């Protein structure tokens, strides 16, 4: 496997060149659903990081035992285990946030970023590479999610992390806090990133 990217390459690619949201268009459900304020977005990104890191490490450890026709099932069960742990931890220590995020934490099980990383990287490469890949991809996901959440929270409520950053006279763009705001912000961000990278 000489042509596989190294751990450093995996890490760098995950952050921007192969950003899971803006480049691969994966895991859009949480990006659209929990991006109307920074707190929820950061909690979501942290949960995804935990699950992705653990799932990648475990998958990489058992990669020699995987049978090709059963690998997806094994990935899903591994991911489900860690999602359950994350979900219960949130419910125990951040009850209010757990209520706010509702079904979106359990839905990490079917988040394609994680299953994609297990398939592409962890099931073929060493534990160290898989871990650095997981961290890079999570960072990319956190970056994308919080960029959208920052725009939506600031325009929608004039606040950032629930602290007022715009003057009180700011007219709240209510639409930005509602679902259409997520689609519009994501579309505009995607267009902007494509525009910038095509002008390079």
Q: Quick one: which H or E segment has residue 160?
A: strand 159-160
CB–CB of 145/182 below 8 Å? no
For residue 100, count other CB atoms closer than 10 A to its CB: 14
Among 164, 180, 194, 197, binds other proteins (CB under 8 A): 180
CB–CB of 86/176 below 8 Å? no
Q: Give the contact letters, 140-179, x = binds to other proteins (CB under 8 A), - = no.
A: -------------------------------x-xxxx-x-
CA atoms within 13 A of residue 69's CA, in its CB half-sphere: 0
CB nearer other proteins, residue 91 or residue 188: 188
Q: 15 to 74, contacts with other proteins by CB under 8 A?
A: none
Residue from 133, 141, 191 nearest 19 by CA: 141
Among 92, 168, 195, 198, binds other proteins (CB under 8 A): 195
Q: Residue 93, interface with other proteins (CB under 8 A)?
A: no
CB nearer other proteins, residue 104 or residue 170: 170
CB–CB of 79/14 below 8 Å? no
CB nearer other proteins, residue 61 or residue 174: 174
Q: Which residues bind other proteins (CB under 8 A)?
A: 171, 173-176, 178, 180, 184, 187, 191, 195
């Amino acid at each position: 496997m000489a042509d596989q990217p190294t751990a450093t390459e995996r890490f760098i690619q995950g952050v921007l060149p192969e950003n899971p949201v803006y480049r691969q268009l994966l895991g859009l459900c949480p990006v659209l659903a929990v991006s109307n304020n920074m707190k929820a977005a950061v909690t979501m990104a942290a949960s995804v990081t935990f699950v992705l890191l653990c799932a990648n490490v475990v998958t990489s450890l058992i990669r020699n035992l995987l049978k090709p026709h059963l690998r997806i099932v094994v990935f899903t069960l591994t991911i489900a285990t860690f999602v359950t742990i994350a979900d219960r931890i949130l419910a125990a220590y951040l009850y209010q946030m757990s209520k706010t995020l509702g079904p979106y934490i359990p839905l990490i099980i079917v988040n394609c970023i994680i299953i994609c990383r297990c398939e592409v990287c962890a099931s073929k490469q060493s534990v160290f590479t898989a871990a650095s890949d997981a961290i890079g991809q999570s960072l990319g996901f956190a970056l994308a999610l919080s960029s959208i959440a920052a725009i939506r929270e600031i325009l929608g409520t004039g606040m950032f992390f629930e602290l007022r950053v715009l003057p009180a006279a700011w007219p709240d763009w209510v639409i930005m806090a509602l679902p259409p705001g997520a689609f519009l912000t994501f579309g505009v961000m995607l267009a902007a990133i494509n525009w910038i990278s095509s002008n390079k």
